[in-house]
A and B are shown apart, each in its own frame.
Chain A
Amino acid sequence: MAVIDLANPTRFLRIVDRVLPWLIGATVFLLAVGLYRALNAPDDYQQGATVKIMFLHVPAAWFGMFGWALMSVAALGTLVWRHPLADVSGKAVAPIGAAFTFICLVTGSLWGRPTWGTYWVWDARLTSMLVLLLLYLGVLALYWTAEDPGRGARAAAILSLVGAVNLPIIKFSVDWWNTLHQPASVFRIGGSTIDPSLLTPLLIMALAFTLLFVALHLAVMRNEILRRRIRSMRLMQAQEVHA
């Protein structure tokens, strides 16, 4: 089957119905293993037991950012190629990305208080992450308040592309500016600086978050396709009444 076949919403729904139960099963399994490993991981020599917050905070940050990257690709699909599922995908990923970004900010704040002595500081990494959350809320507002869904989708796509500028700012903020937030420690030239006893549960949790993200994205896309189907059926019904 060619990738382009997925552009057919009916076929896409059939595939989602088949894949989703397996994906949910794998997500639950990996989350259970990841949480067990995370909660039984040894304390960090500096952070103590608060390192356990990192197993939630880091994957949430990755998927908050990945969600926006995905929305930007979907925005190109909407504006340039007018792919039938591109806008559905972009709209579906916005609430999920916003939720992960919110989790990242709250868990980071709860880690910061015992470690840094403050819940919040206006440094470049924290501020750019807060900007990401505000951008997500802006996209959601455009989708949910536009009277004409087509115009709302185009406006959201433009904001998605403009907001993508924030992604390298988040990633490199710890290198470009003097921040309280520590520099990259997992994906960096020269390898990870994290001890394997902490890195393994972190990577398992990251994999579990990946599956959770994909499962939620597919499920929200399915809902959105059904919503659009209902809208078009109602429009046709209204046209017939007026004919």
Chain B
Amino acid sequence: MNLGPHADFIVAAYAVTLFVVAALIAWVLLDYSAQRRILGDLEERGVTRRSRRKG
């Protein structure tokens, strides 16, 4: 694969895209694990949602 005289621009475009998408995925995964952890802590302390309560 020959990227020609403007290889730097092509590589930079792919690198920026990869970085932004990877950052987005990392944020989603970290946020998910944080929300699950907080939810688990609350449930462990006996806090439940209104819809889960009896009576």
Question: In the complex the two chains form, what is the Cα distance from A203 to B48 in whole Å?
Answer: 47
Q: Contact string, B3-39, partner A, CB cutoff 8 A, digits 1/0?
A: 1111101101110110011011101100110011011
CA A184 to CA B40, docked complex, whole Å:
50
Nearest residue, chain B, Cβ from A115:
B6
Report the interface size class on chain B.
Answer: 20 to 34
Interface of A is mostly: helix
In the complex the two chains form, is B3's CB within 8 Å of A103's CB?
no
B49 close to chain A: CB less than 8 A:
yes
Q: Are B4 and A48 in contact, with the CB atoms below 8 A?
A: yes
Residue pair B1, A40 in contact (C-beta under 8 Å) = yes
A57 within 8 A of B: yes
Is the C-beta of B54 less than 8 angstroms from some C-beta in chain A? no
Instruction: Check A233 for interface membership: any CB of B closer than 8 A.
Output: yes
The closest CB in chain B to the CB of A219 belongs to: B28
With A52-B10, A56-B13, A103-B17 known as contacts, the answer to whether A227 contacts B35 (CB < 8 A) is yes
Cβ-defined contact, A223 with B1, below 8 A: no
Q: Assuming A49-B2, A220-B31, A233-B48, what are 6 further A-B pairs, CB within 8 angstroms?
A: A43-B4, A110-B9, A111-B9, A230-B42, A232-B50, A236-B49
Query: Closest 8 interchain pairs by CB?
Result: A226-B35, A49-B4, A114-B6, A107-B13, A53-B13, A110-B13, A110-B9, A223-B31
